[in-house]
């Protein structure tokens, strides 16, 4: 499995673009969230050329995870696009209905089915489904609106826009990499996100090969990043930057 980081920022694109990751695994190309990091796609033309289909998994519908859908078409218009998002019962409407509202005039000019030559839109709910030979497991999280943790083939776990969940490690089933959100440093002002202090405590003896800190706070300064480096020194937590690639075995 290969993981390409297109956007590891949260909320607002500053130092890094907002949530977007490409995963190459078992002849499938999967995009985790479609934030502003989609604008980095032109740097991955060699990756895109290897696949006829792009499958997008949306963790939830907040715009820092969705806005890149309107940037997508020029780079993948010749591909089949399969989009999965959380539907009922977590939400009142289907993924297709939400995306139709988001993309329609006067906000934009397309229906979801006009994003590329061939588009499928599916709902997921908590539980399992397959993308080709890949097993996807979905777990509910705690956020201001329903968001979901995504486990890809028990190799990579993506947990963003959530408070720390105690079922994270038991449910990860030996996954090698964890992408976990990290929005605050010392304490969380609310239960919708996670802070680094809590992650360093809860993940002190974690079973992952690496824990990549994503959805980073857009107003962090160089001083804050120096603090982060000190806080994670000697751990397997890593502060990620856009355009990095990881080989996950």
Residues that bind Zn ion (CB under 5 A): 10, 62, 64, 161
Q: What is the DSSP string of 65-122?
A: GTGGGGT-HHHHTTSEEEEEEE-TTTSSS-HHHHHHHHHSTTT-S--GGGSSSEEEEE
Closer Cβ to Zn ion, 13 or 112, answer by number = 13
N residues, the chain: 249
Closer Cβ to Zn ion, 25 or 62, answer by number = 62
Q: How far is the CB of 33 from Zn ion (least distance, A)?
A: 8
CB atoms within 10 A of CB 110: 16
Q: How far is the CB of 10 from Zn ion (least distance, A)?
A: 5
Q: How far is the CB of 37 from Zn ion (least distance, A)?
A: 12
- Residue 227 DSSP label: H
β-pair partners for 9: 18, 216
Q: What does the block give as tokens for 123?
A: 């709902």
Closest CA to 32 of 150, 174, 192, 165: 150
Closer Cβ to Zn ion, 10 or 86, answer by number = 10
Q: How far is the CB of 136 from Zn ion (least distance, A)?
A: 20
Closer Cβ to Zn ion, 1 or 138, answer by number = 138
Closer Cβ to Zn ion, 62 or 155, answer by number = 62
Q: How far is the CB of 170 from Zn ion (least distance, A)?
A: 24
Task: Report whether 168 contacts 211 (CB < 8 A).
Answer: no
């Amino acid at each position: 499995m290969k993981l390409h980081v297109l956007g590891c920022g949260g909320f607002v694109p500053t130092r890094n673009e907002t949530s977007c990751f490409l995963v190459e695994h078992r002849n499938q190309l999967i995009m985790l969230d479609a934030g502003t990091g989609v604008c980095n796609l032109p740097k991955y033309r060699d990756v895109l050329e290897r696949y006829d289909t792009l499958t997008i998994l949306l963790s939830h519908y907040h715009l820092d995870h969705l806005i890149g859908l309107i940037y997508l078409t020029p780079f993948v218009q010749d591909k089949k696009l399969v989009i999965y998002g959380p539907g009922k019962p977590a939400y009142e409407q289907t993924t297709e209905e939400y995306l139709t509202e988001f993309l329609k005039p006067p906000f934009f000019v397309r229906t979801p089915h006009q994003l590329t030559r061939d588009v499928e839109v599916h709902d997921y709910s908590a539980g399992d489904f397959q993308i080709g030979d890949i097993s996807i497991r979905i777990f509910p999280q705690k956020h201001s609106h329903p968001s979901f943790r995504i486990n890809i083939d028990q190799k990579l776990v993506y947990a963003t826009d959530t408070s720390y969940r105690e079922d994270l490690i038991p449910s990860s089933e030996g996954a090698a990499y964890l992408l976990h959100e990290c929005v605050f440093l010392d304490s969380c002002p609310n239960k919708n996100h996670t802070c680094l202090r809590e992650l360093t405590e809860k993940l002190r003896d974690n079973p992952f090969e690496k824990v990549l800190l994503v959805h980073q706070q857009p107003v962090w300064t160089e001083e804050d990043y120096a603090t982060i480096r000190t806080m994670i020194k000697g751990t397997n937590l890593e502060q990620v930057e856009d355009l990095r690639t990881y080989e996950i075995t």
